[in-house]
């Protein structure tokens, strides 16, 4: 029995010793390794967060938002602090996902002030630039080889004519004879038709008198009056007007309704194969007829004027690594003749038996027939 008491006493001593060592270690004493002191909690504040998905234009309910701690040094001035009443009952300007801190720009107290989040295309436009669309065809669009993000130049071709500086009408002007109050002619009368009467030669010009100019005939050295046989011919000029523009999109952008439309997928039948029921034949995709470019505001105005004037615009495709700017010279008939040493054909006393009034385009056997307009 004495031995049992000794064992109990020894067990109590061991138990108290273990407890003492544990207490000393918790207080950092006793020579043991002290635990690391936890860092002080970071300074925070309460920020209004969304508790649920909030649709654009909807009224924010009271249970739709709540307060959550947020690091004070990360708070920006547009965040809403400490008071959910500043958000409850307001309209959401945009779709607000769950768990997002609310800002004053996301809400409004006026339903008519709700706006969308904008398009993805707008994010592709660098600051200081703008986007403008122009017509596109297979010929003007490098045979549709262009893709979004390509670099292009824009060429312009237009016809020029001579105008009267006052009337701003195409020359020549209509010629009229000017008479004095007593009906005496003040200006010269150009006579193209006349008849001989008993009183002398009478001029019977059609009305109005023709427009022309007096010249000296080379053979007879006589003064004659030349009259044009056709209206004034316009003169063609071509020049590059936009350099190194970026293609934002080829073709028409999808509307918001088209983007939001669900994608219909084929439902597989038993056995894992998609249904093969007869479906209406889908029409072939239409070729793009419009292209949108990213240009400077000044280039956008230039393109707008060119489109409104009816000039011909053509795109040329650039290498993605080519960002050099080069100067170009306007191309006219005179430029072609002088630059490429084009010889003006002389007038010969002979010619081909078949008159050649236009360039004949060869027809190849594999060409598709072109319907008459």
According to DSSP, the β-strands at 213-216 and 290-295 are unpaired
- Is the per-residue pLDDT at 357 higher than 80? yes
**Range name among 143-152, 196-205, 333-342, 361-370 with the lowest pLDDT average:** 196-205
Residue, of 373 and 288, whose pLDDT is higher: 288
Q: Are 47 and 84 in contact (CB under 8 A)?
A: no
pLDDT digits (tens, 9 = 90+) for 43-78: 889 999 999 999 887 899 999 999 999 998 888 888
Residue 37: what pLDDT?
A: 38
Mean predicted lDDT score pLDDT of the chain: 81
Three-point CA angle 57, 61, 67, nearest 5°:
115
Residue 4: pLDDT band with limits 50, 70, 90: low
Question: What is the average pLDDT across 180-186?
Answer: 58
Residue 39: pLDDT band with limits 50, 70, 90: very low
Ordered domains of the chain (ranges, CATH): 44-113 (3.90.1210.10), 119-161+234-254+287-343 (no CATH), 165-232 (no CATH)
Residue 20: what pLDDT?
A: 67
Q: Longest C-alpha distance within the chain, in Å?
A: 179
d(CA 158, CA 161): 10
- Give residue 291's region: left, alpha or beta (phi > 0; psi -120 to 50): beta
pLDDT digits (tens, 9 = 90+) for 96-143: 999 999 998 888 887 666 656 677 788 889 999 999 999 999 999 999
Q: Where are the alpha helices (DSSP H) in the chain?
A: 2-26, 120-123, 256-260, 297-309, 333-339
pLDDT digits (tens, 9 = 90+) for 195-241: 777 776 677 766 666 677 777 777 778 777 777 778 899 999 999 99
User: Tokens 């439309």 identify what position?
Assistant: 261
Residue, of 69 and 362, whose pLDDT is higher: 69
> Which pairs from 192-198 meet CB under 8 Å and 24+ separation?
192/227
Phi, psi torsion values for 206, nearest 5 degrees = -70, 160
Question: If we measure between CA atoms, which residue out of 305, 371, 286, 285 comes closest to residue 132?
Answer: 305
pTM value is 0.62
């Amino acid at each position: 029995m004495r031995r049992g008491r000794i064992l109990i006493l020894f067990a109590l001593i061991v138990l108290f010793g273990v407890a003492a060592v544990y207490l000393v270690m918790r207080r950092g004493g006793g020579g043991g390794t002290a635990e690391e002191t936890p860092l002080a909690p970071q300074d925070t504040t309460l920020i209004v967060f969304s508790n649920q998905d909030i649709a654009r234009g909807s009224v924010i309910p009271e249970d739709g938002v709540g307060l959550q701690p947020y690091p004070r040094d990360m708070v920006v001035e547009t965040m809403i602090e400490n008071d959910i009443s500043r958000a409850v009952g307001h309209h959401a300007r945009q779709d607000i996902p769950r768990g997002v801190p609310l800002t004053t720009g996301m809400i409004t107290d006026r339903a008519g002030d709700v706006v969308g989040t904008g398009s993805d295309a707008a994010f592709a436009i660098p600051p200081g630039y703008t986007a403008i669309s122009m017509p596109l065809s297979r010929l003007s669009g490098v045979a549709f080889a262009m893709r979004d993000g390509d670099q292009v130049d824009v060429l312009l071709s237009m016809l020029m004519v001579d105008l009267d500086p006052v009337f701003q009408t195409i020359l020549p002007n209509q010629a009229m004879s000017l008479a004095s109050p007593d009906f005496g002619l003040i200006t010269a009368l150009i006579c193209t038709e006349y008849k001989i009467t008993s009183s002398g030669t009478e001029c019977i010009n059609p009305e109005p008198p023709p427009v022309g100019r007096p010249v000296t005939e080379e053979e007879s050295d006589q003064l004659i009056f030349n009259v044009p046989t056709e209206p004034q011919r316009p003169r063609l000029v071509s020049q590059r007007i936009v350099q190194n523009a970026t293609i934002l999109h080829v073709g028409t952008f999808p509307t918001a309704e088209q983007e939001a439309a669900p994608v219909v997928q084929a439902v597989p039948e038993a056995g894992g194969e998609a249904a093969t029921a007869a479906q209406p034949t889908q029409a072939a995709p239409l070729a793009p007829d419009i292209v949108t470019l990213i240009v400077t505001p000044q280039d956008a105005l230039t393109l707008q004027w060119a489109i409104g004037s009816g000039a011909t615009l053509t795109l040329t495709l650039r290498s993605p690594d080519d960002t050099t700017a080069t100067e170009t010279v306007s191309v006219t008939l005179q430029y072609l003749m002088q630059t490429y040493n084009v010889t003006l054909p002389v007038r010969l006393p002979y010619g081909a038996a078949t008159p050649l009034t236009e360039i004949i385009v060869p027809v190849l056997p594999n060409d598709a027939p072109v319907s008459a307009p």
